[in-house]
Structure formats: structure tokens, C-alpha cells
Amino acid sequence: MTPSTQASTTAKRRIDMAALLAWFIVAMVIAGLIFPIFKPDLGVMDVPRLSVCLVILAIAGVRYELGFMRNRIGDVVLGLVTAVAAWLLIATASNHAGDAKAGFWALTAATWASAWLFVERLATWKVGSPFARRLVNLAIPAIFGITLLVIWQIVVTGAGVPKVLLPAPSEIWLRLTSSVPTLWADFRQTFLKAVLAGYVIGCGSAFFVAILVDRIPFLRRGLLPVGNLVSALPIIGVAPIMVMWFGFDWPSKAAVVIIMTFFPMLVNTVSGLAASHAMQRDLMRTYASSYWQTLFKLRLPMAMPFIFNALKINSTLALIGAIVAEFFGTPIVGMGFRISTEVGRMNVDMVWAEIAVAALAGSLFYGAVALLERAVTFWHPSIRG
């Protein structure tokens, strides 16, 4: 570092420290004005006024980048301060539910801004090892999701939102932990039976039909338009018909899943089989390759990104189709049955518990397909990048 650069850096640090000192004075005044708006009793914690002022100062100062500057130590401190502020808000809201004041909402807004900045700063970290990079990439969505749950808890509790409209995450968690046998029975009926069976049959049959469509030209002109028409059918119209055909148990829900997953898989597979270039096919012909050799050694590998796109799309469509189909007739078990029944009983926390289980199952299912895609299409530029 040259002397001029060092002098410039030193001068910049002095300016930053001067700005931080000025902001400290201003923030202490603002915090002193905001703090009396709180009720004197902060619940189980006896937090002095200075501690609250320092929390507000740290959050606001870092948010405007006048505090801990762009380095990892400052980012970690920012995350810790944000966690302390969130803990303070949750404890305060639980003791004054529905009676939060302006200072509470000001600190909530500052905490959200601080969490946003922390995730933004975390995304700029340059780590060397692949494990650390993967850990950071997992931490970013995890922290952001936890922040959303915390803000949800704070807002619902502080504003006193009725449970029948929107329960707090803590109430949903209590319902989850106290209703494990019921949730497991619903998950087994809907996901392990209807979703998996319909997904495998629908995607597998569509894959083989796509090969026939690619092999027989007139099927491409006759079957694909019909497929587009059937894929546009509303599920609420198809589900009752499937219940009449296959009964009230899980086979009728699997039939709905088959209908929903068949044509996305068919269209994507046909498009993938046409993705190979003419020059590549000509090269295979110069090697005297048969149709099936060209299919298995060139065209199917080239179609794998399209096929896995369909598999990922269908992983979410299958769960949605099975749950909606259970609204039109099912045994006294299943995610859709439980949701429709508990809504009528005003047990909204149970409804959200079922939604949480469905969201977790769908996310894990999608993640499993994505991991399989990375293992199969490791050669594709999107995976290598």
C-alpha cells in the first residue's frame, strides 16, 4: 500500500468514525424519545433503558452503514444484534398482546431492516472451500425464512390478530407437536399412497408415450393437441369424476395425480428428444447407429434437462392435486380431508399445521428430484456452473 493510499484510508476511517459518533448522539436522542412509548413493564426481562437504546442504535446505525463497516466481523455482530432485538420484541409482544405501541413497531421495522441487511451482507461473502460455500448458501434462505417466521410472530401477537384469522407460528408449532399421530396418518394416506403412486405412474407412462410420439409422426400431430386440451381441464371438475370411478380411497386421488402429471411430462420429454442438433444426429448416422442406439446414447441424455424440469414441476403438482381431490370424497383421513374438516370447526391452527406438513413434504420431494438431477446431468452447463 502506497503512502497516499494509506493516508486516504486513514482519512476515510476518521470520517466513518466521526459519522458514527454523530449518529450515536442522534440515535440516543431518538431512542430516548421512543422508549417512553413502550409500557414500563417489558415482561420477564428487566431491560434497562440504555440497553434498548443501544439495540436501536446498533440496528439503525448498521442499516445505514455508519456502524460496523463491510467486514465479516461486523456482519456477525449485526446478526447477533438482530437476534437480540427479535428476542426482545417477542418477549414484549407476548406480555402485551394486542397493546403494542408505536415504539414497538418502530423497533420491529428496524429489526426487519437489520435482518434484511444481514442476509444481503451474507450473500456477498467470498469463501474458498466448497463446504463453506455450500454452508453459506444454505444459511441464507434458512435465516431469511426464520426472519419471516419471527416477524410473523411479532406482528400477529403485537397487533392481537384473532387466532381464527391467522394463528401465530408458536401456536402452529404447539399443534404440530401435539398432533403427530394424526398428521402422520394424513401424510401416509395422501403423500405415501396417492401422491407417490400417481407421480410414478403418470410420469412413467408419459415418458414411454413420448418415445412413441417421437417414433410415430402422426401421434405428434394427433395426441399433443388432445394432451393440451386435457391438461387445461379444471381439477375441481375431474376430481369428483375420479371419485365416482375409483371410489373414495386413495386410488381416485392417484388417478387425479396421473392426469395432472401426465401431460407436462409428455410435452417436456418430446421437446427434449428434439433438442439434439442435426449435426449430432448426422454424426451418429455416420457411425451406422440404429434408432435405438441414437436414442439411448444421444437423444435421451440431451433430453434429461427437459425431463427433470417436468419431474420438478410435477413434484409440486402431484401434492396439490391429491389434496384438492380429497375435498370431494375420502375416508376420514388425509391432508385434504383434515383441512376441509378443521376449517369448518374453526381449528385454524390445525389447518396451518397440515399446510406446514404439506409444504415440508413438497419441498423435500422437490429437493430430492433436484439432487437426482445434479447427479444425472452433471455434464450440463447449468450444473457445472
Alpha-carbon span 112 to 92, nearest angstrom: 16
pLDDT score recorded for residue 195: 92
Evaluate if residue 130 carries a pLDDT over 80. no
pLDDT score recorded for residue 61: 57
Evaluate if residue 366 carries a pLDDT over 70. yes
Distance set, CA 113 to CA 125, 139, 158 (Å): 19, 18, 18
Any idea which of 5-14, 285-294, 360-369 has the lowest mean pLDDT?
A: 5-14
In this structure, which long-range contacts are made by residues 68-73, counting pairs with CB atoms below 8 Å and at least 24 apart in sequence?
69/16, 70/121, 72/125
Q: Which of 121, 120, 107 is nearest to 150 (CA)?
A: 107
Cβ contacts of 237 within 8 Å, gap of 6 or more: none
pLDDT score recorded for residue 38: 46
Any idea which of 177-181, 207-211, 231-235, 340-344 has the lowest mean pLDDT?
A: 231-235
Other CB atoms closer than 10 Å to residue 123's CB: what's the count? 12
pLDDT score recorded for residue 52: 57
| Topology given in CATH for the domain delimited by 175-384 | MetI-like fold (1.10.3720)
DSSP secondary structure letter of residue 234: -
pLDDT digits (tens, 9 = 90+) for 49-73: 545 555 555 555 555 454 445 567 7
Q: Do residues 200 and 261 touch, judged by C-beta distance below 8 A?
A: no
pLDDT score recorded for residue 197: 92
Higher pLDDT, 111 or 177: 177
DSSP secondary structure letter of residue 35: G
Q: Do residues 307 and 369 touch, judged by C-beta distance below 8 A?
A: no
Q: HSE on the CB side for 85, CA within 13 Å?
A: 30
Grid coordinates belonging to 290: 440404429
pLDDT digits (tens, 9 = 90+) for 78-105: 777 778 778 877 877 777 677 777 667 7
* Domain ranges for the chain: 3-161, 175-384
pLDDT digits (tens, 9 = 90+) for 182-230: 999 999 989 998 999 999 999 999 898 888 888 877 777 767 777 777 7
pLDDT score recorded for residue 15: 45
pLDDT score recorded for residue 274: 79
DSSP secondary structure letter of residue 332: S
Evaluate if residue 277 carries a pLDDT over 50. yes
Alpha-carbon span 136 to 347, nearest angstrom: 38
pLDDT score recorded for residue 27: 53
Most confident of 55-59, 199-203, 334-338, 341-345: 199-203
pLDDT score recorded for residue 94: 72
Amino acid identity of residue 28, one-letter, is: M
pLDDT score recorded for residue 271: 83
Most confident of 91-95, 119-123, 148-152, 330-334: 148-152
Alpha-carbon span 104 to 169, nearest angstrom: 19
pTM of this structure: 0.73
Evaluate if residue 6 carries a pLDDT over 80. no
Mean pLDDT over all residues of the chain? Answer: 77
Q: Which of 148, 139, 137, 170 is nearest to 76 (CA)?
A: 139
Higher pLDDT, 37 or 315: 315
Evaluate if residue 40 carries a pLDDT over 50. no
2, exposed or middle or buried, with CB in 10 Å at 0-12, 13-18, 19+? exposed
Any idea which of 13-17, 38-42, 374-378 has the lowest mean pLDDT?
A: 38-42
Q: What is the mean pLDDT of residues 329-337?
A: 82
pLDDT score recorded for residue 187: 92
3-state secondary structure of 68: coil
DSSP secondary structure letter of residue 327: G
pLDDT score recorded for residue 202: 92
